[in-house]
Amino acid sequence: MTSKITKQAEDYLEALVNSIEISPSKYEQAEKSYKSLGEWLHREDSSVRDFEPDVYVQGSFRLGTAVKPQSKDEEYDVDSVCSLTKLDKSDLTQNDLKALLGKEIKLYRDSKGITKEVHEGRRCWRLDYSDGAQFHMDIVPSIPNGLDQRRLLEAKQLDAQFSDSAIAITDNEVIPQYFEITDDWPRSNPRGYAEWFKSRMGDEYKRRRIQVLNEMRKGGIDASIEDIPTYRVRTPLQSAIMVLKHHRDTMFVDDPTDKPISIIISTLAAHAYQGEDTIGQALLSILERMEAAIEFDGTKHVIKNPTDALENFADKWESHPERARAFYDWLDKARTDFYEAGRLAEQRLISSTLETRMGSALTSQVLKNLEHSSRSGGTSLLGAATSASTTSSPEVSFDDTARTPKRPKGFA
């Protein structure tokens, strides 16, 4: 049975999410950046225009679970995909695709007057820019892989319902396949994952999406339900994941290698979510059953990609057992912290209980915000979480500080 939570703890968690979420305008800046690249790739003299490039965002910016960086020195990873939709694996090698898109990204950099180099990562190209939001964009080259993915999964009698949006991606550490024309490409499916994630949010997502639409129309904005991206809607599942990610980031601030990766947290939380309609109820419910979707076959842990059961998100745990131990250690501490906080009825005690693991600066600010809200008549803490921004998107600008890309975090 799900642990009970006090009204004061619910209010505190709601205020906490408002303090760690990023603003709609920052989502809009990210959206503007990848759309700008897409427009460039479709210009008249583009070398990839005839391949009908499709640029879209993936990861936490697509799921609506991005949280603020821990410090001014950290950046947002805006993970995007560029799929050349008129190509397939028989047309070129992974290396060819990576170079083809890289050439255009470098020309795009030149068109924006950027003096630093575009950097190549294992699976992506990185483009750095400065718009006041600590962003960099990782662009993953890809081609469609839906038909092959469906055949692969159905041949093994596995669920193929999300296969149509699957893509094949490049990986320059896969040798010799990287330089050969072959069917053996790394697989991914960020759009399919996002659709699965939406399905796990269930009726709460639908209800809150309609709420946002009605608020937009009341504000004089002519919009349809299809115009509302996932990040405009703040469901209990999204909020709970944000809280868990911040808790993890603080706990592992000095140990980034072993900290549980976000795709594992997001996947296990989405499996465990049972439609609770408040942040606190969702958080405690998720924590109680979070490891339920982890399988153990006697030798290794398996956390299946819900869109591709052949992919194991915990594949690194077998060769790095310390990461499995780190995950369960983190889960135990998260349970202890939030179970204790959830039973308290005094917000100062809640704040002090969470201070060590969430950060004293954050918990102090949350408490100040709650006290201010109480003095001003208890205005809603929901704020931007359930309403759309009516501000225009800031222009995207670029700085000249080079950074070395790592493997894209994907669903960070």
CA distance 8 to 349: 10
- Percentage above 90 pLDDT, the chain: 70
Residue 294 CA neighbour count, 13 Å, CB half: 19
Tell me which residue of 119, 21, 120 sits closest to 61, measured CA to CA: 21
Residue 68 CA neighbour count, 13 Å, CB half: 15
CA distance 8 to 347: 6
Exposure string (b/e) for 50-64, b if CB count within 10 Å is 16 or more? ebebbbbbbbbbbbb
Q: Is 46 exposed, middle or buried (0-12, 13-18, 19+ CB in 10 A)?
A: middle
Which tokens hold the place of 396? 């995207």
- Percentage above 70 pLDDT, the chain: 89
Q: What's the whole-number mean pLDDT along residues 303-322?
A: 96
Which pLDDT score is estimated for 2? 55
Q: What's the whole-number mean pLDDT along residues 155-160?
A: 96
CA distance 216 to 65: 22
For 156, phi then psi, to 5°, come to: -100, 10
Q: Which residue has the tokens 């005839």?
A: 50
Which pLDDT score is estimated for 246? 97
Q: Which residue has the tokens 């892989």?
A: 145
pLDDT at 52 over 60: yes
Residue bearing the bigger pLDDT, 175 or 261: 261
For the segment 326-381, what is each residue's pLDDT rounded down to a tens digit?
A: 999 999 999 999 999 999 999 999 999 999 999 999 999 999 999 888 777 654 43
Cβ 340 vs Cβ 284: under 8 Å: no
Mean pLDDT of the chain: 88
CA distance 3 to 276: 12
Which pLDDT score is estimated for 124? 96
Map out the domains of the chain with their CATH numbers.
7-22+193-385 (no CATH), 24-192 (3.30.460.10)
pLDDT at 33 over 50: yes
Residue 321 — pLDDT band, cuts 50, 70, 90? very high
pLDDT at 194 over 50: yes
Total-model pTM: 0.88
CA distance 310 to 291: 19
CA distance 55 to 37: 8
pLDDT at 386 over 60: no
Residue 53 — pLDDT band, cuts 50, 70, 90? very high
Q: Which of 56-65, 131-140, 403-412 has the highest mean pLDDT?
A: 56-65
